[in-house]
């Protein structure tokens, strides 16, 4: 009887195995669909939601080839953001931009007269493989930054002003740096590049893409 019992049990498990596999597949498919539904809201994918924003000062310039140079040597999704000076490395997300926040940004930008400055070559953050241009003078940039820090104190960094810079190369092999520097000076020369501060811009990161959210023009000089 005992031997027959075990034989019957083995036969039943063999018969049930395809059914068990089917049930497992159905449960897995259901869970995967449920996760997809959670990650989608109103027909939008999780990648459609911003995970980070930056608020920056954007200049106008007429330097031919500068953006092409940046596109060649910035190996990071942030290359889609035009040349800029970052003020807030982590600002409010797009859904947090209520009318009160927008009004603050518009007011500060409009009260700041457009100003000229020079982008001086060439400096680096060696540990992060960054080559950048330095804005001179830095005082008007510090002034608008201070107004923004005062308007959004909870977002202001505890260390004060950052090192204001405009990235032109990022995440390249270290042994390629001298070649990039030579390419810069042969293309643009050694003189500072003239620029005009034009607007504040908010860019948001959606997965690995950056998109412009809002712009706030500076006042006319």
Whether residue 42 is predicted with pLDDT greater than 60 in this model: the reply is no
Specify the higher pLDDT residue, 201 or 125: 201
Residue 48, pLDDT > 60, answer no
* Over residues 53-82, mean pLDDT: 95
C-alpha 117/C-alpha 164 separation (Å) is 13
39 pLDDT more than 70: no
Residue 57 pLDDT exceeds 70: yes
**Residues 76 and 208 sit within 8 Å (Cβ to Cβ):** no
pLDDT at 24: 54
Q: Is the pLDDT of residue 184 over 50?
A: yes
Q: Does 179 have pLDDT greater than 90?
A: yes
Indicate the average pLDDT of the chain. 84
CATH number of 47-217: 3.40.50.720, 3.90.1140.10, 3.80.10.10, 2.60.40.10? 3.90.1140.10
Between CA 200 and CA 85 the distance in angstroms is 10
Asked if 197 contacts 59 with a C-beta cutoff of 8 angstroms, the reply is yes
Average pLDDT rounded to a whole number, residues 162-190: 95
Q: What is the pLDDT of residue 19?
A: 47
- Kindly report the pTM of this predicted structure: 0.78
pLDDT of amino acid 221? 66
Span 145-160, mean pLDDT? 94
Residue 126 predicted with pLDDT over 90? no
pLDDT tens, residue by residue, 72-83 = 999 999 999 999
Q: Distance between CA 111 and CA 134 in Å, rounded?
A: 24
CA-wise closest residue to 184 among 40, 27, 93, 69 = 69
Ranked by mean pLDDT, which of 2-6, 8-12, 37-41, 185-189 comes out on top?
185-189
pLDDT score for 50:
87
pLDDT band, very low/low/confident/very high, at 40 (cuts 50, 70, 90): very low
Question: What is the distance between the terminal CA atoms of the chain, rounded to a whole angstrom?
Answer: 101
- Predicted confidence at residue 208, as pLDDT, reads 80
Average pLDDT of the segment spanning 105-114: 97
């Amino acid at each position: 009887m005992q031997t027959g019992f075990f034989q019957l049990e083995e036969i039943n498990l063999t018969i049930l195995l395809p059914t068990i596999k089917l049930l497992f597949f159905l449960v897995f498919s259901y869970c995967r669909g449920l996760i997809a539904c959670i990650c989608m809201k109103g027909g939008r994918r999780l990648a459609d939601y911003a995970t980070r924003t930056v608020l920056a000062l954007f200049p106008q310039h007429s330097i031919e080839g500068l953006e092409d140079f940046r596109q060649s040597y910035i190996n990071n999704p942030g290359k889609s953001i035009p040349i800029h000076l970052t003020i807030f490395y982590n600002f409010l997300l797009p859904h947090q931009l209520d009318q009160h926040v927008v009004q603050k940004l518009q007011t500060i930008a409009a009260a700041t007269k457009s100003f000229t400055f020079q982008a001086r070559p060439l400096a680096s953050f060696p540990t992060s493989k960054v080559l950048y241009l330095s804005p001179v003078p830095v005082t008007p940039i510090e002034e608008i930054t201070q107004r923004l820090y005062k308007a959004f104190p909870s977002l202001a960094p505890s260390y004060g002003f950052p090192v204001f810079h405009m990235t032109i190369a990022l995440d390249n092999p270290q042994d390629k740096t001298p070649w990039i520097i030579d390419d810069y000076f042969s293309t643009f020369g050694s003189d500072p590049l003239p620029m005009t501060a034009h607007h504040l811009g908010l860019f948001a990161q959606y997965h690995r893409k950056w998109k412009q959210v809002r712009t706030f023009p500076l006042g006319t000089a």
